[in-house]
Chain A
Amino acid sequence: MTETLLDIVQQLMNGIMYGAFYALVGIGFTLFFGVMKKFNLAYGSTIMAGIYLGLIPLNLWKQPMWVVFVTCVAGAVVVGFVVEFACFRYLRKGHELAPMMTTIGMLILIEDAVVIATHAAPFEYPNIFGDESFELGPFLIRPDYLAILIAGVVFVVLLYLLVNRTTFGRAMRAVAENPAVSQLLGVSVTRTNTLTFALTSALGGATGYLVAMTFGALQPGIATWMTIKGLVVIVIGGLGSIPGAIFAGLLLGVVEFQALWFLGISYRDIFAFLLLFAFLVLRPSGLMGKAA
């Protein structure tokens, strides 16, 4: 009994730490939707492109990992601008589903570009936290997973301050509430949207760096994987809700790890999607979304 309880707690801890990553990806998707009321399905590929770009200074010039981190963030921001320019800026108003199609196209385009450039061969991503776990009582904790959890908390606090305590944050909230009125009040909707792209892409680049490091190897398929996880998180959390994305990410991580532990690998994804269907049927507004 004690042994089973220890297993449950160990997997709960792993699930929460891993779920922090899901939450961060979900926050990115949520910010897009919250401010622009549109889905950016190319967000996963933006993150993926950023972390691949981060490998350039490492592999070509043997630069330290902080340079890799900065390149990941900068790379994701640049790719984010490309996505905003190509998939959103010139689309006519009133065609709300059009960005879904353009960003799906961009997701495939970026993923295939990376496949062509790298032959989709796995690239090693050095882990600055090493290959050792540390013991916490009867539990083993991976330092890189813990780093994701801590980074998640830091990013969320910074995001909260940015959204609630800065002029840009006020503009974001205004555009999210009513773009037309915001424009009349002197807020540039285009500028706000572009900066939102920069912000979410930077968050994605930073998250992607941590994830690639914990994975130890990087493949283009990571883009589709992050897109699926991100969409599951925002549906469970509630469209446009940042606290919802946080709780949904953690919940998804915990459910996946418990299913994996007790039932095996085949049930990990089954339970994740059962959770999604359960929310779609029983609570379509998600954990913290506004009811329609």
Chain B
Amino acid sequence: MRNIVVGSVILTWFLMLSPAAVSAFQEEGTLRVGGMWALSGPAAYIGKSSKGLSALAIDEINEAGGVAIQGKRVKLAMSVYDDACKAEEGLTVVRRLADSDKVLFSLGPTCSNVAEPVFGTLQKRLGDATDTGLQFLFFTDTAIKFGLAKISPWAFRNVGNEPAMFELAFKLVKERHPELKTVAVAYESDFAHSVSTWKGATKPALEKYGYQVLDIVEWRFEDVEFGAQVTKLRKANADILVMMTHTFSTCGAVKEFKRQRVKAKLMVGITSSASTETMVGCGQAVEGMIIPTNFATINPKAKAVAEKAWAKYKADSNLHSVPAYENLYAIKGIVEKVGIKNEPATLLQDRRKVRDALATLGTFQGVIGPIKMNGDNDPVKPRDVDKAIILVQAKNAQWTVWWQPPEMEKK
């Protein structure tokens, strides 16, 4: 009798875990999508905003009837995981999303140091049976380090083009402030995004526009002591301070600026710092800082999205989080167009169909304007986007538009 009970429990457990138990994709009326972001740790403020904006897009899509698949309206259901901005966590989460949760695609990750190894687990050669990498689609909203989408044909990104953003930023600074000629730089030596932005985007831009770099200091992403580095920045006495550092360390450093009476004529910040978190954490100390970004509330649609995301999820709308919203709408359009089956047996084919359609998507509509997705054969940025660049400035505890493309200004 005891053996029968134990056997029944094991059988039930086995059945619960077997594919049959999760075979209800189209039948249960849902389309499964995934999201992996840094929802804990110092980068959590970025990941939580992406999660909030994606939740807003899902709410809107579901309230409007869902996604049309095989003549049936299905609702989006999202599996969300915290990778804590740690590569080892990300590697676990991607397997869970792809194999256990069987989602069609995933948003995220937040951090480039997670995206790099995670994309490394994806298939490198499409349709090659000998390539056993994961056939799993990412449409990343945040991890911004230049060139990450080149790692796998399954990796797509709707993120800013930082070399172009900083090129434009220093071009405009040069035009508007020709009297500023020298810079001092700070970056986080242990954080992939910070290092790559400094070396791959900011440094070339500074060289192009003839700025003299007087000193370069490094600290770590989670450092809390900046005395020695700030003393060096003070002694450099540069016209412009270029802070390629993220909110947590930026706020600590600018407090040290105050202690050591460091006063630059202008500060330029890293793209990720154009967030409410920076305003709250750093306060007046970042007044005047200029940052290139891809999002500002420059039109009614952007204002409405930002207000709804804040009201419903306390989610900040910025260049990292708004793409999560945009990507879900883009995928909805693709899914309805290419006609996936949304069944467990066709999951790999469905992912491939969506991947191929995304690679040939061309231009799709973003919140502040059109976004162009580069195809697989783009020589410089395959599977990355081109989109409008805006420059914002910290003014009276708010990010205000310092420059925007003339065509957007007219609208």
Residue B147 interfacial (CB < 8 Å): no
Per-position 1/0 for A107-131, Cβ under 8 A of B = 0000000010001111010000001
Residue B227 interfacial (CB < 8 Å): yes
Given A119-B40, A120-B40, A266-B218, answer yes or no on A261-B45 (Cβ-Cβ < 8 Å).
no
With both beta carbons as reference points, the residue of chain A lying nearest to B248 in the complex is identified as: A122
The reply to whether B44 and A120 contact each other, CB–CB distance below 8 Å, is yes
- Determine the distance from Cα of A131 to Cα of B229 in the docked complex, in whole angstroms: 17
The reply to whether B189 and A266 contact each other, CB–CB distance below 8 Å, is yes
Which one, B173-181, B255-263, B317-325, is touching chain A? B255-263
The reply to whether B228 and A140 contact each other, CB–CB distance below 8 Å, is no
Residue B69 interfacial (CB < 8 Å): no
With both beta carbons as reference points, the residue of chain A lying nearest to B85 in the complex is identified as: A120
Interface size of A in residues (CB-CB distance below 8 Å): 28
Per-position 1/0 for B217-232, Cβ under 8 A of A = 1111011110111010
- Shortest distance between the CB of B228 and any CB in chain A (Å): 5
The reply to whether A142 and B40 contact each other, CB–CB distance below 8 Å, is no
Contact of A132 among B42, B222, B258 (CB under 8 A): B258
Contact of B44 among A121, A257, A266 (CB under 8 A): A121
- Across chains A and B, the number of contacting residue pairs, with CB separation under 8 Å, is 68
- Determine the distance from Cα of A133 to Cα of B229 in the docked complex, in whole angstroms: 16
The reply to whether B45 and A121 contact each other, CB–CB distance below 8 Å, is yes
Per-position 1/0 for B224-256, Cβ under 8 A of A = 110111010000000000000000100110010
Contact of A140 among B222, B255, B260 (CB under 8 A): B260
Interface size of B in residues (CB-CB distance below 8 Å): 28
Give residues of chain A (227-267) contacting chain B, Cβ–Cβ below 8 Å.
257, 260-261, 264-266
Given A122-B248, A133-B260, answer yes or no on A265-B189 (Cβ-Cβ < 8 Å).
yes
- Shortest distance between the CB of A55 and any CB in chain B (Å): 16
- Determine the distance from Cα of A173 to Cα of B182 in the docked complex, in whole angstroms: 62
Residue B84 interfacial (CB < 8 Å): yes
The reply to whether B40 and A115 contact each other, CB–CB distance below 8 Å, is yes
The reply to whether B42 and A131 contact each other, CB–CB distance below 8 Å, is no
The reply to whether A219 and B40 contact each other, CB–CB distance below 8 Å, is no
Residue A221 interfacial (CB < 8 Å): yes
Contacts of B217 in A (CB 8 A): 264
Contacts of A18 in B (CB 8 A): 225
Residue A216 interfacial (CB < 8 Å): yes
The reply to whether A119 and B44 contact each other, CB–CB distance below 8 Å, is yes
Give residues of chain A (204-227) contacting chain B, Cβ–Cβ below 8 Å.
214-217, 219, 221
- Determine the distance from Cα of A7 to Cα of B227 in the docked complex, in whole angstroms: 12
Central interface residue in B217, B225, B281, by most chain A CB within 10 Å: B225
Residue B39 interfacial (CB < 8 Å): yes
Residue B7 interfacial (CB < 8 Å): no
With both beta carbons as reference points, the residue of chain B lying nearest to A265 in the complex is identified as: B218
Residue A14 interfacial (CB < 8 Å): yes
Contacts of B225 in A (CB 8 A): 18, 215
Give residues of chain A (119-167) contacting chain B, Cβ–Cβ below 8 Å.
119-122, 124, 131-133, 140, 142
- Determine the distance from Cα of A216 to Cα of B227 in the docked complex, in whole angstroms: 14
Residue B41 interfacial (CB < 8 Å): yes
- Shortest distance between the CB of A58 and any CB in chain B (Å): 17
With both beta carbons as reference points, the residue of chain A lying nearest to B257 in the complex is identified as: A131
The reply to whether B259 and A122 contact each other, CB–CB distance below 8 Å, is no
The reply to whether B281 and A120 contact each other, CB–CB distance below 8 Å, is no
Tell me the A residues contacting B by CB distance below 8 Å: 7, 10-11, 14, 18, 115, 119-122, 124, 131-133, 140, 142, 214-217, 219, 221, 257, 260-261, 264-266
24 A-B residue pairings within 8 Å (CB atoms): A11-B228, A14-B227, A18-B225, A115-B40, A119-B39, A119-B44, A121-B41, A122-B42, A122-B281, A131-B259, A132-B259, A214-B224, A216-B224, A216-B251, A216-B252, A216-B255, A217-B252, A219-B41, A221-B222, A264-B217, A265-B189, A265-B218, A265-B219, A265-B229
